[in-house]
Amino acid sequence: MTKKVFKYLSFWLVIFLFSGVLSSLLRFTLKQWLLMIGVMSLATFGVVWVANFWESRQKQELKAMENRMVSTVAGGVPRGVLAEPDSPYYDLIRQFNDMQNFVQQAQQTAQRDVTNYRSLLASLPVGVININRAHTIDVFNETAAALLGIQRPETPISEGLVIRQFTLSELITQTFNSQKNQQSILNLQINGEMKQYEVSTLYHQGDLKHAEVMIIIYDLTSVLQVERMQSDFLANASHELKTPLTAITGFIETLQGQAGEDRATREMFLDIVAQEAKRLSSLVNDILSLSRVQQKREAVHTELAIHDMVTEQWQHVMPLATTKSVTLRNDVADDFMIRGLKTDVDMILQNLIGNAVKYNVFGGDIHVTAYKDHQHWQLNVKDTGIGIPTNQQTRIFERFYRGDESRQRKIASGTGLGLAIVNEIVNKHNGEIKVQSQVAVGTTVSVTLPL
């Protein structure tokens, strides 16, 4: 403002001096001289005003460029500036607009990359956590939150507020201190349940101050469960096969000696050999049944009368049921019909009713019911047997799992494949199987299948 006033005063002083010289040369009167000063002042200030007006308009373009740049730096959408071709700043504004377009495209690309990165992190089946040297977490995906049993925190956040497992925190600290990648299998207590995780830490160092560690967490719990099931399979299968084979071999060798000459001894030993051979046959049949269930084969669905099928399966276990004085109450309606695969339903009934007899108490009962709605039908087999301990109920559908061996074998022998076969059939048909059991009270197995 001061500069403009000074400029105007300078122009007026020049006018005043010029008019004074001109007036002395032309011998103007005072009135003429004052009129001349007024006219020249008006003309001069008019020219100055016009010049200032055009200068202001041109500076508006520069001001617009400045405002657009400030907005872009603040995170706004990059925008260009309009300019007339005859503007003295036209080339500069055009280059500025090109730069703004480039920045806008770079922002869009960066945003797409961030979106894709976040989508990738969210969909990864492994937990991913990134921690900087100040032990601040800046990446924490949904899988990591699920594996650690917490809600996904908003990042950035301090490591100590999120990672409460000492062994995991110690592994992270060890990675920072050693500046080397680490890998370990950790047993972590998550919401009261022990989980096994394979944890890999990847050390990255731009410089010592900005070092980072990325943690990759993979859930090994199910993998180790499968390995345990395979181990149980080998142990149980070898035991189940070895026991009857040893008995058969031993009795045959005995019969080949002098003991075979005694008729009573020979008949008793042959009965034992027959029982052990039957036990072997049962084991082989169960393994083959499990294998057939797992094979995807096209089969024809037919109308099935569930009441009659329950009665038929009961006839198969009648000798054992009679020995234990176990009775059946078949409360499935005579006209209860469903469409399904007869072999699969037979297999379900065979194993559920067979187990209900084998693991029942002397003089026990079995109660079979069935219900259906517009979409599903349900079969319930309830017994008054020895029951299943709560800590074993999550494993009873594993192959060859038989719970407490000493307790089970006092009641009945078996292969440990029955419920595994039922479970495979139910899963094949997208059904559901549930077990309710209490020790010394009994067990109810419910199978729900789509119609």
Domain spans in the chain, listed from the N-terminal domain onward: 2-104, 124-219, 221-295, 298-451
pLDDT band at 58 (very low <50, low <70, confident <90, very high): low
* Residue 324, number of CB atoms within 10 A of its CB: 17
The b-or-e profile of 188-220 (16+ CB within 10 A means b, else e) is bebeeeebbbebbbeeeeeeeeebbbbbbbbbb
Q: List all residues 6 or more positions away from 68 whose beta carbon is below 8 Å from its beta carbon.
A: 78, 79, 80, 81, 96, 100
d(CA 159, CA 141) in angstroms, rounded, equals 14
Is 50 exceeded by the pLDDT of residue 363? yes
Mean pLDDT of 300-304: 83
Least confident range from 82-86, 216-220, 346-350, 358-362: namely 82-86
What's the pLDDT score for residue 407?
47
d(CA 139, CA 210) in angstroms, rounded, equals 15
What's the pLDDT score for residue 383?
95
CATH for 124-219, options being 3.40.50.460, 2.60.40.1180, 3.30.450.20, 3.40.50.300: 3.30.450.20
| More confident call, 54 vs 355 | 355
Mean pLDDT of 346-355: 90
Mean pLDDT of 256-264: 74
The strand order across the sheet containing 376-383 reads: 327-330, 365-372, 376-383, 442-450, 432-438
What's the pLDDT score for residue 218?
92
What's the pLDDT score for residue 66?
82
pLDDT band at 13 (very low <50, low <70, confident <90, very high): low
The tens digit of pLDDT for each residue in 411-441 reads 555 566 778 888 888 988 889 999 999 888 9
Is 60 exceeded by the pLDDT of residue 294? no
Least confident range from 95-109, 231-245, 325-339, 385-399: namely 231-245
pLDDT band at 27 (very low <50, low <70, confident <90, very high): low
Tell me the one-letter amino acid at 261: E
Q: Where does 148-306 show beta strands of DSSP type E?
A: 157-158, 182-190, 193-204, 212-219, 302-305
d(CA 370, CA 393) in angstroms, rounded, equals 23
What is the CATH topology of the domain spanning 221-295?
A: Helix Hairpins (1.10.287)
Q: With contact defined as beta carbons under 8 Å apart, do 203 and 174 qualify?
A: no
Give the pTM: 0.48
Output the six-digit token pair for 372. 């259906």
User: H/E element holding 366?
Assistant: strand 365-372
Residue 194 sits at φ, ψ, to 5 deg, of -80, 125
Q: Which residues pair with 203 in a beta bridge?
A: 213
What is the CATH topology of the domain spanning 298-451?
A: Heat Shock Protein 90 (3.30.565)
